[in-house]
A and B are shown apart, each in its own frame.
Chain A
Amino acid sequence: ELKVEQNPLFLSMQEGKNYTIYCNYSTTSDRLYWYRQDPGKSLESLFVLLSNGAVKQEGRLMASLDTKARLSTLHITAAVHDLSATYFCAVVRDSGNTPLVFGKGTRLSVIA
């Protein structure tokens, strides 16, 4: 059974600081996704990582994937309040038609 673990589950950080969210998964996977969810809202796709060593950046967020370690990171640079949200990673078990398995999410709060 594919399991996805995120840590930390809660993160309070000051504006301007850097931090990293970690996503570990238990079995081989072809694809890893990062989503953002604001309170009461749906999921917004941030990144899709398809191969070992993949790195993608958008604004203050950068995601990377290490398939050998079964680890993805979401790095936040110089946090701003607008980044406050819950961030989910999700993994597909293999290249077939298998559903996304989500982590529990990291609830990020950026404070002044």
Chain B
Amino acid sequence: DAGVTQSPTHLIKTRGQQVTLRCSPISGHKSVSWYQQVLGQGPQFIFQYYEKEERGRGNFPDRFSARQFPNYSSELNVNALLLGDSALYLCASSQLVLNEKLFFGSGTQLSVL
């Protein structure tokens, strides 16, 4: 079975642009979470979606938004990019809304110039 898949793997944007990151969870997993990992730090929670509804939101500005589709895949959108948005964005899936065990994708490395 395929694991959590994310696309693209790498992305370069300039300040002020918008970006969309995509995630497909493991088959049968209904919950998707997004985390931001800045170089040298641990991942920080951005959003969690379960059954297409937002179930949690971290301390990130409104420039960050996300959604989950009927097939449980998810998109993370970031508007008006700042240099500080440069990071590895990780998607994780789990079967249920409770984080009993998260399976992480390989991430999207976003560079903002």
Contacts and interface: CB of A to CB of B under 8 A. Distances in A.
Interface of A: 4, 31, 33, 35, 40-45, 48, 88, 90, 92, 95-105
18 contacts: A31-B99, A31-B100, A33-B102, A40-B109, A42-B90, A43-B43, A43-B92, A44-B104, A88-B43, A96-B98, A97-B50, A97-B56, A97-B98, A98-B56, A99-B33, A99-B48, A101-B45, A103-B42
A102 B106 contact: no
A48 B90 contact: no
A99 B45 contact: yes
* Size range of the chain B interface in the assembly: 20 to 34
Given A99-B99, A100-B99, A105-B42, A42 B107 contact: yes
Interface of B: 33, 35, 40-45, 48, 50, 55-56, 58, 90, 92, 97-107, 109
A100 B102 contact: yes
B102 A102 contact: no
A32 B86 CA distance: 28
A29 to B, nearest CB: 12
Which of A44, A100, A101 gathers most chain B CB within 10 Å? A100
Q: Which 10 pairs of residues, A with B, have the shortest CB-CB distance?
A: A102-B42, A99-B45, A43-B104, A42-B106, A42-B104, A102-B43, A97-B97, A104-B42, A88-B42, A42-B107
A104 B98 CA distance: 23
A100 B45 contact: yes
Contact of B56 (A88, A99, A101): A99
Given A45-B102, A92-B99, A97 B45 contact: no
Contacts of B102: 33, 45, 100
Contacts of A95: 98
